[in-house]
Structure 1
Amino acid sequence: MWRQPPYTPPNRMDDPPVSDTLEPGSTPAAPVADTDTNGRFARLRERTDELEMFISGLLAFALLAVPGRVFDAWAVSEVHADGIYWQALWFGFSTCVGLCYVLAIALIAHLAIRGYWVGLIGLKSNFPQGIRWDNVPFMGRTARTFYQARVVSLDQAIISADRAASTLFSTTLLFALTIAVIGLMSILAITVAAGIGSLFPHSDDVALAILLALVAVPLALGIGVGALDKMVAKRHARGGTSPRLERITHRLLAINQWFVPMRMLLPVQLMLQSNQRARHFMWLYFGAVMVAMMIGGVQAVGSMRFSMLDQYEVVTGEAVDQGMLSAHYESLRTEHDRLLRYPMIPADVIQGSRLRLFIPHQPKRENALAKRVCALPEGGNTAAGPEAATRAVQCLAKVWQVTLDGKPVPLDGFLPIERRDLEMRGLVGYLPLDALSPGRHDLLLVWNADGGKRGRERRREYRIPFWYAPEERR
């Protein structure tokens, strides 16, 4: 097992003597660099490739398993939330999923580059003479001259691969730290905003305004520091001085330290930025942050769509909406339908004399509409006992319209229900079927019939065809 050699302090007696007195007009000499520093880092560098591969291999494939669990937790929780709490859940979900995917892809790429580097070293050790151009088959003089001018040597390829792997590994860690800092600061801001907003009547609006103000502070500080720094630089370029602006800039930078952990992030960021193409690095860095934030949205949309590669030109989505959707039938629902909170019946074929109809309630979509339509006291259902159930049914009856074969179905006989199997609450009713003839029948549910064509409160229609087969009763 490899052990790190014990640290030997540098021999200060070998340092050049420093005179106790200085000649007039002379300046103190700069501190002499520790001559052993490069040696110590060189010894440590001999093992960093193994440590990089160990860390990347340990994390890369483990991170690919995390987004599924995060998605399941979010899908179960987000249906119960509204306002700033739903936004907090969405931010946490999108941040975690994006971070996991971006880190996993970057670490897998790092493993590939580092593996390529290992292969190059193996070739170098076995073929120290390098490429023998004269022995390459099926290559003429012209092609050989072309490739010799463009193909690098094994030494150069090894150095380039090593640099690329180390740079990618450090950039990946910097990205992870940045997203973690953004997440922690966001959680703190959301907690403060929600706590202050709860003290006011319109809590969600107040909390959102406070949250926007808290987000605007670090952005304004960053923009202000950049603008003042450029103003100071222009004045110095013209030969002037601006001590007041410099003091203001330093104070703003000191305040900015409360929002950005400079000691943790800047050593890596500035090292990479100063040794790479600065503009390309920053575009790539911030682009990765934006992509990470978008991955969660893509996954959520993809979970609600039948297929991301929608090439159906005959059985289109509009045709299916007028036909049958598995999300409407509890016996046909799968994990793919978990984000489709649609009205449901037990199955597509009904044999009993009653049809159970479940109408889901979604706080994010219906709370604001119910406050306007139902005119509930204090903006919510604050009743107790049987009155609470009555108010809930009466309110949702104004939001939903139900018809069976074109005939209105009153909702006054429905009851509030909590479905732990579906992780939803809503209304449930049992529609009598004895008067119906065997065969196909159609349920039509309309949500917010007076709503427009766009937006969260747009009119929504749900068609649920089913087949009544009383002769198949057992």
Structure 2
Amino acid sequence: MSDPNESLSLPKRTTPTWEMELLLSGATVFAMFQATQAVTEWGARLLPRLADNPRMFASVLFTYGNGALTLLTLAFLLHLTLRAYWVALVGINSVYPEGPRFDRLRVGPIQRELVRSRWRALSDRIESADNAATVVFALGISLALILVPISAVVTLFYLVAAVGSWLAGKPELTSLVFGLLSGLAFLPFWIATTLDKRRGERWSEGGWMHRACTAMLRTYTRLGMGRDSNPMVMVFSTNIGERKGMVIVFIAMFGAMLGSTVQLALSRDQLGMGSYADFPDPRRGMASSLDGRSYASMQEPGQLPNAPFLPSPVSRGDYLLLVVPYVPMLHGELFARCRRQAEAAVADEDARAARQLACVGAGITVTLDGQPAAIGPEWYSDPRRDLRGLAWMLPVSTLAKGRHELVVLPPAAPANEREAGPGEDAPQPWRIPFWR
């Protein structure tokens, strides 16, 4: 006869670490949500302000770093959900230790028999939920840790590629060199692994192929690329089937990377998701439109704007300040070309800066009510939020009361980046209405 108090205690096969799992997940899941949001906002502000090569490097690190945070957050959240389900099963088993009363089901005999045949004992369900929660907890942490050495390797390879390309006087080849370095670094490991899997059993233990392959695999294993470098993943994959385990690991990591990318994309789209089917698609240069991002008084606190803006929609003074933030991916080619021209023309630093300013100002067209701006720009910097760019102080005292419009036309794309076809390389203007 079974002990009547047995249902009031935890099952004997309960994972011994369940209390620590709950403590860690419960204490950190909310902090992980905040950290993921903070990193995403930081990436959305920083990445557009970087030049091509640094932007690529930062994007890769952001994807891996934020992917690890996203993976941990989702793993802890799923773990808490599974643990809550497990607690509920343990609780209901303690209240009704006899299980379901099939004779009280108000169904026909066929359905009653079907339910009885498919029923799993609560003790089995409790054990399954307990095991699933522990596996999710372990895999979440181990997969996040996998991304740490990947980030370190990517950083090292990219720095080597950047330094090598710079020394060769070809910084534009950094991405290509980085790809070649990555391929060459992992090619020997892939070759050794493939040969060992397909022909390893045919080699004699003292043969040179066996010794060479052993040395190669031992070297990469010491660098953290061996199957035993992550014990939790190895135990999991070898117990449920290596192919199935690797598929689950790949899906989890791919989901984390995709989630990181989607978070960044949504953070840039302030409109977000919603039912806006009947509303015109907001776009740059849209006529008769007012975009709150075009006015400093409407921007979010701490936001780093990447589009021209005015102080507010209403101008009350004699002058109107127009700021065009410097965005490397948009203005980088123009600024670099003007800098080179200025350095070739004059030697004095102040004179070079003035010449570069005039060149840049000529490359960015500003019109007020259809007429070109009467004055040129000045260098602009805002130390409160590390913002740099150009500023036009436009005289507006003689303008009539009512609506007026500023149009800022950015520089055209470099010739080597333009797409073929008529009109496809024409830059889209910014339209900023204001009122007097």
Shorter-chain TM-score category? 0.7 to 0.9
Work out whether residues 114 and 161 of structure 1, in 8 Å CA contact, stay in contact via their aligned partners in 2: yes
Q: 2:179 aligns with which of 201, 212, 237?
A: 212
Work out whether residues 326 and 388 of structure 2, in 8 Å CA contact, stay in contact via their aligned partners in 1: yes
User: CA offsets, 1:92-119, max 9 Å, x none?
Assistant: 3232322222211111211222232233
User: CA offsets, 1:376-430, max 9 Å, x none?
Assistant: 3679x9965422431331231243111111111255x321011224432111121
CA shift for structure 1 position 446: 0.8
SS at match of 1:130: coil
Q: 1:260 aligns with which of 221, 224, 239?
A: 224
User: CA offsets, 1:152-191, max 9 Å, x none?
Assistant: 1112112211221222122112211111221222233333
TM-score, length of structure 1 as denominator length: 0.78
SS at match of 1:428: strand
SS at match of 2:324: strand
Tell me the distance in 2 between the aligned counterparts of 1:318 and 1:62. 35
Tell me the distance in 2 between the aligned counterparts of 1:258 and 1:216. 19
Q: Does 1:147 align with 2:108?
A: no
Cα distance, 1:90–1:384 mapped onto 2, change above 3 Å: farther
Cα distance, 1:75–1:303 mapped onto 2, change above 3 Å: closer
SS at match of 2:224: coil
State the partner residue of 2:60: 91
TM-score, length of structure 2 as denominator length: 0.84
Work out whether residues 378 and 391 of structure 2, in 8 Å CA contact, stay in contact via their aligned partners in 1: yes
Per chain length, whose mean CA-contact separation is higher, i.e. which structure has more relative contact order (CA < 8 Å, sep 6+)?
Answer: 2
CA shift for structure 1 position 232: 0.6
SS at match of 1:436: coil
Partner amino acid for 1:415? E
Q: Does 1:358 align with 2:327?
A: no
State the partner residue of 2:386: 423
Work out whether residues 285 and 429 of structure 2, in 8 Å CA contact, stay in contact via their aligned partners in 1: no
Q: Does 1:169 align with 2:169?
A: no
Q: 1:443 aligns with which of 396, 399, 406?
A: 406
Q: 1:194 aligns with which of 162, 165, 188?
A: 162
State the partner residue of 1:228: 195
Q: 1:287 aligns with which of 234, 251, 255?
A: 251
* Corresponding pairs, count: 417
Q: Does 1:297 align with 2:276?
A: no
CA shift for structure 1 position 261: 5.2
State the partner residue of 1:120: 89
Percent of residue pairs identical: 25
CA shift for structure 1 position 463: 0.6
Cα distance, 1:264–1:199 mapped onto 2, change above 3 Å: same
State the partner residue of 1:179: 147
Q: Does 1:307 align with 2:291?
A: no
CA shift for structure 1 position 301: 1.9
Work out whether residues 98 and 293 of structure 1, in 8 Å CA contact, stay in contact via their aligned partners in 2: yes
Cα distance, 1:180–1:318 mapped onto 2, change above 3 Å: closer
Tell me the distance in 2 between the aligned counterparts of 1:293 and 1:382. 49
Aligned pairs (5 A) from 1:98-117: 98-117=67-86
Cα distance, 1:164–1:383 mapped onto 2, change above 3 Å: farther
Tell me the distance in 1 between the aligned counterparts of 2:346 and 2:276. 49
CA shift for structure 1 position 222: 4.2
Partner amino acid for 1:276? I
Work out whether residues 76 and 423 of structure 1, in 8 Å CA contact, stay in contact via their aligned partners in 2: no
Tell me the distance in 2 between the aligned counterparts of 1:161 and 1:346. 57
Tell me the distance in 2 between the aligned counterparts of 1:147 and 1:303. 48
SS at match of 1:443: strand
User: CA offsets, 1:20-39, max 9 Å, x none?
Assistant: xxxxxxxxxxxxxxxxxxxx
State the partner residue of 2:395: 432
State the partner residue of 2:18: 49
Partner amino acid for 1:223? W
User: CA offsets, 1:213-269, max 9 Å, x none?
Assistant: 332244324432332123315x74xxx869444333222212322542548634222
Partner amino acid for 1:255? T
User: CA offsets, 1:26-85, max 9 Å, x none?
Assistant: xxxxxxxxxxxxxxxxx9976311122222222222211102222343345445532332
Tell me the distance in 2 between the aligned counterparts of 1:422 and 1:457. 32
CA shift for structure 1 position 343: 0.8
CA shift for structure 1 position 358: 0.9
Cα distance, 1:264–1:282 mapped onto 2, change above 3 Å: closer
Cα distance, 1:221–1:293 mapped onto 2, change above 3 Å: farther
Greater C-alpha Rg: 1
Work out whether residues 331 and 411 of structure 2, in 8 Å CA contact, stay in contact via their aligned partners in 1: no
Partner amino acid for 2:65? C
List alignment gaps of at least 5 residues for structure 2. 1-11
Q: 2:341 aligns with which of 376, 395, 401?
A: 376
CA RMSD in angstroms, aligned pairs only: 3.3
SS at match of 1:219: helix
Partner amino acid for 2:293? A
CA shift for structure 1 position 273: 0.8
SS at match of 1:465: strand
Work out whether residues 449 and 460 of structure 1, in 8 Å CA contact, stay in contact via their aligned partners in 2: no
Work out whether residues 185 and 259 of structure 1, in 8 Å CA contact, stay in contact via their aligned partners in 2: no
Work out whether residues 292 and 299 of structure 2, in 8 Å CA contact, stay in contact via their aligned partners in 1: yes
Q: Does 1:329 align with 2:329?
A: no
List alignment gaps of at least 5 residues for structure 1. 1-42, 469-474
Q: Does 1:407 align with 2:371?
A: yes
State the partner residue of 2:3: none
Q: 1:251 aligns with which of 215, 234, 244?
A: 215
Work out whether residues 413 and 425 of structure 2, in 8 Å CA contact, stay in contact via their aligned partners in 1: no
Tell me the distance in 1 between the aligned counterparts of 2:346 and 2:146. 43
CA shift for structure 1 position 325: 0.9
